[in-house]
Amino acid sequence: MNAEPPLWRTIHAALARDLAEGAFPPGTPLPAERTLAARFGCAIGTVRRAVDELVAARALVRRQGRGTFVPDLGGDAAAADRTQFYFFHIARADGLRETPRTEMLDFASPLPCPEEHAGPLGLAPGAPMHRAQNLQHLQERPVMVEELWLPESLFPGLDAAGFAGREGTVYGLFQRRFGISVLRTEERLRAEAAAPDIAALLGLPPAHPVLRIRRVAYAIGDRPVELRLSWADTRAHEYFNRLD
């Protein structure tokens, strides 16, 4: 008849809503599974099923003996590295993945949202945005130019000093300062001839082929929070993608 959703799915949705609201800051554990089971009036196995889904979606991590946590994207060096390598896909042609060094080139705000960025971010054209430009280095050589577009409404008060002075990754900053946990991204890649400014920054001959990446980053609830354009020099590096 009605086909109501399974109980574990209802609980999953309730937890996801709480997570989206930042109800559980990273570093402090969620209520224990028994506690949640009592709160939802269900068996512990049902809670576990709901949490399993959130763990699979990288929204939560479990630690035996300690509790269940929102992943800390910038906790220690190891956590920062995991985040880095999960979202940073440029590797040396021989397969080695190194941690890049980031050099900030520019930070401008507010800028009106360009027409072509409004749709993917769910914004009105002209909405106020921050724009940051970075140069990523591997082995002290520039390999990728990045242009980040961030809605001012989601990142209020962010400025050049706050952006450049962060500790850890950009997504760690999103989480710590604005309570935004990036869970997934969509990337579209194409080959194009390098524009003069890009070629100059990367030390490329004019119009040399570069890999252009357009990324949209999403937080819980598939809310788009960032649009990022990148141009990579793929003479000695490649974009690495593993599909499971």
Partner DNA sequence: TTCGATTTGTTCGTATGTATT
Partner DNA sequence: TAATACATACGAACAAATCGA
Question: Of how many residues is the chain composed?
Answer: 244
Q: How far is the CB of 235 from its own copies (least distance, A)?
A: 8
| Residue with Cβ nearer DNA (62 or 235) | 62
Shorter beta-carbon distance to its own copies: residue 157 or 242? 242
Q: x-or-dash pattern for DNA, window 173-212, by CB under 7 A?
A: ----------------------------------------
CB of residue 53 vs DNA: minimum separation in angstroms? 10
Shorter beta-carbon distance to DNA: residue 12 or 117: 12
Token pair listed for 232:
């990579």
Among 43, 105, 200, 207, binds DNA (CB under 7 A): 43
Q: Which does 46 bind (CB under 5 to 8 A by kind): DNA, its own copies, none?
A: DNA
Nearest to 29 by CA among 67, 62, 63: 67
Shortest Å distance, C-beta 238 to its own copies = 4
Q: How far is CA 20 from the centre of its chain?
A: 14
Q: Which residues bind its own copies (CB under 8 A)?
A: 56-58, 86-87, 91, 93, 183-193, 209-212, 214, 232, 234, 237-244
Among DNA, its own copies, none, the one that 58 touches (CB under a kind-dependent 5 to 8 A) is its own copies
Alpha helices in 88-195 (DSSP H): 115-121, 160-164, 170-178
Number of alpha carbons in the 13 Å side-chain half-sphere of residue 212: 13
Alpha helices in 41-191 (DSSP H): 44-56, 77-87, 115-121, 160-164, 170-178
> For residue 208, how many other CB atoms are within 10 A of its CB?
15
CA distance 105 to 111: 16
**Residue list 2-41, contact with DNA (CB under 7 A):** 3, 6-9, 29-30, 32-35, 41
Q: Is 214 helix (H, G, I), strand (E, B) or coil?
A: strand
Residues that bind DNA (CB under 7 A): 3, 6-9, 29-30, 32-35, 41-46, 48-49, 62-68
